[in-house]
């Protein structure tokens, strides 16, 4: 079990209906099964004095991220829709800051960075500054999906200098290709993340 303090934050990545609900448009196998484990971790973090921060994939109706507009994904997590809402079984998150990636049509996978879809230019979200304001040095990452947003968020956290733990039993993978989840875990481990 990870132990939390004021310098350790829990980042709950994209636990939204479109990923976590079995009828979501980009439902991740086992996505709903991680929710009780994520809730337990939210309690651990809160009891230890650690901040809890949530990210949300937050797309416009049309974006080169979607297959219908030239990308690879079914339409998902469109701003303001049911699919973009946090899974209703997530507990005790009313006061947690939410970082919504893509408010202005940017996309990208990491909770820390967005990408301007046409120019490809990367820009930070508010996540890093939000953590720095709280003097956070360590992050613990859980949520969806292992092979996309969890992976990208963990790699960015390491690049930004955070001691980074990924909770192996509180993540689930999209697996466009079988094995993508395992490969992503191996990659973040090699980059320096702790698997817990």
Positions that interact with ligand VGL (CB under 6 A)? 14, 19, 57, 73, 109, 144-145, 148-149, 174
Contact 83, 16 (CB under 8 A): yes
Of 50-58, 118-126, 128-136, 171-179: span binding Zn ion (CB under 5 A) = 50-58
| Burial tier of 70 (Cβ tally within 10 Å: 0-12, 13-18, 19+) | exposed
Q: Residues 132-171: x/- map of binding to Zn ion (CB under 5 A)?
A: ----------------------------------------
Q: Which is nearer to Zn ion, 79 or 130 (CB)?
A: 79
Q: Is 68 a catalytic residue?
A: no
Q: Is 142 a catalytic residue?
A: no
Please tell me whether residue 41 binds Zn ion under the rule CB under 5 A. Answer: no
Q: ∠ CA(118), CA(120), CA(121), 5° rounding?
A: 115
**Helices 151-159, 180-190: crossing angle, 10 deg rounding:** 10
Of 27-35, 52-60, 88-96, 125-133: span binding Zn ion (CB under 5 A) = 52-60
Residue 149, binding choice from Zn ion, ligand VGL, none, Cβ under 5 to 8 Å by partner class: ligand VGL
């Amino acid at each position: 079990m990870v132990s939390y303090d004021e310098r350790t934050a829990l980042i709950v990545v994209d636990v939204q209906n479109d990923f976590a609900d079995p009828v979501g448009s980009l439902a991740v196998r086992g996505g709903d099964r991680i929710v009780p484990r994520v809730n337990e971790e939210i309690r651990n973090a809160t009891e230890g004095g650690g901040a809890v921060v949530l990210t949300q994939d937050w797309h416009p109706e049309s974006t080169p991220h979607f297959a219908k507009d030239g990308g690879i994904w079914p339409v998902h997590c469109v701003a303001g829709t049911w699919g973009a809402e946090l899974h209703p079984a997530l507990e005790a998150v009313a006061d947690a800051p939410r970082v919504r990636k893509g408010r202005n049509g940017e996309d990208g996978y990491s909770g820390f960075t967005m990408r301007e879809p046409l120019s490809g230019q990367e820009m930070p979200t508010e996540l890093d500054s939000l953590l720095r304001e709280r003097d956070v040095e360590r992050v613990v990452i859980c949520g969806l999906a292992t092979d996309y947003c969890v992976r990208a968020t963990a790699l960015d956290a390491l690049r930004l200098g955070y001691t980074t733990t990924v909770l192996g039993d509180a993540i689930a993978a999209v697996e466009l290709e079988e094995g993508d989840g395992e490969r992503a875990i191996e990659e973040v481990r090699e980059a320096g993340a702790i698997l817990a």
